[in-house]
Amino acid sequence: MTSFIPNVRRAQKESLFFREISQLFMQAALDDPRLNDVMIHRVQLSPDKGVCTVYFYTNQGEEHFKNILNVLVLYRPSLRKALASKIRSRYTPELIFRFDTQFEKQLRIDQLLEEQKTRDEPS
């Protein structure tokens, strides 16, 4: 049971970071139309809570995200500062931006299952 409580706290903190970063990102997207195609998919904290990895997804694929990444990096300091003012914490984690391939993998699995389902149906 001892390891369960830190996992719950970590999940709560990740949820809080996800909510706050999403709100800040939506405000930035209103100012910069280049960010309209990109959405935050999930947030993951490192074990020491010193690094917060923000996973983004865009329908246009990973190559498009790589182009947008330069814009995101410009917003990183202001996002971190705004996050520090919104969240009561001793330390505000460093933000790292990554493309989330999990969504594409899930779509591929769904597609394969659907193909198998159509093959298994009697004609």
Per residue in 71-98, pLDDT (tens digit) is 999 999 999 999 999 888 888 999 999 9
Per residue in 38-62, pLDDT (tens digit) is 999 999 999 888 999 999 999 888 8
Q: Where do the domains of the chain lie?
A: 4-120
Sign of CA dihedral 92, 98, 99, 102: negative
Report which of 69, 67, 44, 61 is spatially closest to residue 107, judged by C-alpha positions.
61
Say which CATH topology domain 4-120 has.
Answer: GMP Synthetase; Chain A, domain 3 (3.30.300)
Report which of 38, 30, 35 is spatially closest to residue 74, judged by C-alpha positions.
35
pLDDT score, position 20? 94
What pTM was estimated for this model as a whole? 0.81
pLDDT score, position 2? 56
